Chains A and B, each alone.
Chain A
Amino acid sequence: SQKIEQNSEALNIQEGKTATLTCNYTNYSPAYLQWYRQDPGRGPVFLLLIRENEKEKRKERLKVTFDTTLKQSLFHITASQPADSATYLCALAYYNAGNNRKLIWGLGTSLAVNP
């Protein structure tokens, strides 16, 4: 079956370290992948988009990689801060059998950065 998976376990790291979150997918023909941040009781906030023909994208302390051979995206936060504590969602845009673009969401990974 088609699915998208993120680290199910919460990630706890020390302030200043690099957090790495994983998003794996199966059986999709990807168009692009997005990462969002969601705080409790709030809507997701867009962070980065990476296309299927891109290997890496950076924005300030954030870096996303996209490996379509491994069917995996990695999301890195360098020099992490307690304010980075949140749930991070990945969303994969893909083309279905009818060549319509669809978006599928992961369950999210909870990140806690300890001071």
Chain B
Amino acid sequence: GAVVSQHPSRVICKSGTSVKIECRSLDFQATTMFWYRQFPKQSLMLMATSNEGSKATYEQGVEKDKFLINHASLTLSTLTVTSAHPEDSSFYICSARQLDTQYFGPGTRLTVL
């Protein structure tokens, strides 16, 4: 099956620093990747859709200057949380689409102190 990796799996940082999360499709090329965040006991919340070679499309209420997305190749998308604050602490999950199915990475637990 399609495999998506995500790195790092866990990160703890100080308030005000920036954190970069990488998402890679390992055995397929993905024109479209997605970034989600998930709070405990809640559904997946789509943050943005990342398209290779073009600007990401952000969902309403998601600050594009705070959550920078780059999709420079067909196998790699990155999410940078800039000037992170404690309220940004969450579980961030990426997915890559192959045909009609999204395949998810294992997620990144971000804790901002």
Interface residues of A (CB under 8 A from B): 31-32, 34, 36, 41-46, 49, 89, 91, 93, 103, 105-108
Report if B106 contacts A (CB, 8 A): yes
Beta-carbon contact of A49 and B104 below 8 Å: no
Contact-residue bracket for chain B: 20 to 34
What string of 1s and 0s marks CB contacts (under 8 Å) between B81-96 and chain A? 0000000000101110
- Main SS at interface, chain A: strand
Residues of chain B whose beta carbon lies under 8 Å from any beta carbon of chain A: 1, 4, 6, 41-44, 46, 91, 93-95, 100-107, 109
The 9 closest A-B pairs by CB, nearest first: A43-B104, A43-B107, A43-B93, A107-B43, A105-B44, A105-B43, A44-B104, A43-B106, A43-B105
- B41, B44, B101, most chain A CB atoms within 10 A: B44
Q: Flag if B44 contacts A46 (CB, 8 Å).
A: no
A residues in contact with B93, CB < 8 Å: 43-44
Q: Which residues of B contact A93 (CB under 8 A)?
A: 100
- Across the interface, which residues of A come within 8 angstroms of B44, CB to CB? 44, 89, 105
Which residues of the other chain, A, contact B4 by a CB distance below 8 angstroms? Answer: 43
The answer to whether B100 touches A32 (Cβ under 8 A) is yes
